[in-house]
Amino acid sequence: MKFQSIQDAIKQEKGKVAIRGWVYRERKSNQFMFLVVRDSSNIIQCVLKKEKTDDKTWEAADKLLIESSVEVEGTIKEDKRAPTGYEIEISKLNIIHYAEPFPITKDQSVEFLADNRHLWLRSRKMTAILKIRSTVFGAIHEYFRENGFYEYQSPMFQSIQCEGGSTLFEVKYFQEKTYLAQTWQLYAEPAIFALEKIYTIAPSFRAEKSKTSRHLTEYWHAEMEVAWENFDEIIDHGEGLIKHIVKRVLEKNQEDLKILERDTKKLEPTIHKKFPRITYDEALKLLEKQGIKIPWGKDLRTVEEDKLSDLFDTPIAVTHYPKKVKAFYMKEEDKNPKVVRGVDFIAPEHYGEVIGGSERESDEKKIIQRLKEEGENIEEYKFYLDTRKYGSVPHGGFGMGIERVISWICGLDNIKDSIPFPRTPLRFKP
Ligand code: 4AD
Ligand code: MG
C-alpha cells in the first residue's frame, strides 16, 4: 500500500490506510496495545489487538518505546475517545527502528530542553511553530516578488558597522579581522542603482549581551531597499508586508495556532485595519497621558514601547525620532533637522519593535559628519559614500526581525522558541 500522511488518513475517515511515523505515546495491556503515532501532519491513535495478532508481532510491538519509528497498515474509523477523533486498527506493523529511552519526558526544565533542542524540535509545540515559521518565510518572498522586488544578497563578512559598533561580532579573517553582518543595508544601497527594488532574507548577527525575551545574537532578517520611493511609501511596504504575513498564517496555520492556544482574534485587526502612524512627539504625549514622562531626545525603551502597544490592537509605526538616537544614515527631516525620517513598527501585545527603517540621507557631507561624530574611519566607508556621488536618488528601506514577528503571531513567551537552534549570549550549542 502507498503511505499517506496521517492528516490525509483522517480525512479519508474509513477504510484501509497506511501511515508511517514515530511513536508519540504508548499504552499496553494484556489484550490491547495503543500506539499514538505522529508524523509531520498530525497524530493518530493506533490499536493492536492481541486476539488478532500473531505472537511474533505482539512481542516485537511490546518492545516499542516512545520515538521508535514504525509503518502501520490498518483500518481507520471514527473514535471519539481517541486524541484526534479517529483510530486505526492495525493489521500490519513494520518496525523501522527501536528507539532508546527518550530523554525528554514530562515537566523538564527549560535548560534541559535547550540542551536537548535537537530532540525537542519533535514536540507538538515546536512542530507547530516551525510550520508557522515556514509560512512566514514563504509570505515574505511572495509579498516582495508580487510587488516587483528582486531578491539580492549581501556578504555576511563585512568590514564596517551600520547599526553601532557595540553589537558587532568580530571574526578572525586569516591574519586580519572583520565582522559578521548586522544588516545588509550598506551593501544593498549600492544595488538599488542597478535593480531599484530589492529584498533579502538572511541571518543578521548582533552581539547583544543583554538577556531579554526579544534578542537573539543570530536572527533572520527580512530587508528591503528601494529607489525613488518616499518615506510614506516605504512605511506602506512595511504595513503591506506585515498584513500579508499575518493573512497567510491565518489562512494556512489554524491547526498550529490552536496547538499553541493562540487567540487568533487578536491578530485579525492587523489584517483589516490601517496601522496608526504617529510621530515620536505624539508618542511622548500618549505616554504622558499614561503617566510616563520622557524627556525629549531619549529613545523609547522596551517598557515605553509596551505601554504604547497597549493603546492599539494593530502594529503602529512611530516616525521622526530624534536624530541622535538613530543611525547615521537616516535622512534629516527638511522642516526639522533635529529629527530623522526613521520608522519603528511596534507590534501589539508587548512584542516590541518588529521593523526598523528609514529614508536614507542623500547628502554625502551630512553622512560624513555623522560618521565622524561616531568616531568612524571615513576611509572604510568610501565604497558606501560613492552611492551618493553618481546619480544619487531618494531611497530608503527597512529590516524586519522575522523571529520577533513569529513570536508575536504565535504568542510566544520568549523569542528563543521562534527559531530551531537559538543563539543567545549564554548559548550557542547544540
Ligand atoms: O532596527 P534595526 O537595527 O535596523 C537595521 O538593521 C536596518 N539597517 C534595517 C534596514 O533599514 N535595512 O534592525 C531591524 C529589525 C528590528 O526592528 C528588530 O525587529 C530586528 O531587526 N532585530 C532583532 N531581532 C532579534 N534579535 C536581535 N538582537 C535583533 N536586533 C534587531
Ligand atoms: Mg531599530
- Give the domain CATH number at 225: 3.30.930.10
Q: Cα(216)–Cα(399) distance, rounded to whole angstroms?
A: 15
Q: What is the pLDDT of residue 40?
A: 97
Q: Identify whether residues 153 and 15 lie together within a single domain.
A: no
Q: Could you tell me the CA-to-CA distances from 178 to 156, 173, 380, 381 in Å, in that order?
A: 10, 6, 12, 14
Cell triple for 291: 503617566
Residue at 430 is within a domain: no
pTM: predicted TM-score of the whole model, two decimal places: 0.97
DSSP code for 24: E
Residue at 427 is within a domain: no
Q: Identify whether residues 67 and 198 lie together within a single domain.
A: no
Q: What is the pLDDT of residue 109?
A: 93
Q: Could you tell me the CA-to-CA distances from 175 to 165, 171, 178, 421 in Å, in that order?
A: 21, 11, 10, 30
- Using the atom order of ligand 1, give the atom closest to the CA of residue 221: 21
Q: What is the pLDDT of residues 273-314, one digit of tens each?
A: 999 999 999 999 999 999 999 999 999 999 999 999 999 999
Dist. CA 357 → ligand 2 center (Å): 7
Contacts of 207 (CB under 8 A, 6+ apart): 166, 167, 168, 169, 217
Q: Identify whether residues 265 and 409 lie together within a single domain.
A: yes
Residue at 107 is within a domain: no
Total structural domains in the chain?
Answer: 2
Q: Cα(361)–Cα(372) distance, rounded to whole angstroms?
A: 15
Dist. CA 191 → ligand 2 center (Å): 22
Dist. CA 238 → ligand 2 center (Å): 14
Residue at 398 is within a domain: yes
Last residue of a domain, one of 44, 68, 97: 97
Q: What is the pLDDT of residue 350?
A: 97
User: What's the CATH code of the domain at 20?
Assistant: 2.40.50.140
Q: Identify whether residues 92 and 196 lie together within a single domain.
A: no
Q: What is the pLDDT of residue 210?
A: 83
Q: Identify whether residues 186 and 45 lie together within a single domain.
A: no
Mean pLDDT by 10 residues, the chain (430 residues): 96 98 95 97 97 95 97 98 97 98 92 96 97 99 98 97 95 98 98 98 95 95 98 98 98 98 98 98 98 96 96 98 97 96 98 98 96 94 96 97 98 97 95
Cell triple for 424: 543567545
- Provide the residue type at 160 as one letter: I
Q: Whose CA is nearest to atom 22 of ligand 1?
A: 401
Grid look-up 531578491 returns: 151
Cell triple for 160: 564596517
Contacts of 195 (CB under 8 A, 6+ apart): 150, 152
Q: Identify whether residues 171 and 264 lie together within a single domain.
A: yes
Q: Which domain holds residue 10?
A: 6-97
Q: Identify whether residues 77 and 219 lie together within a single domain.
A: no
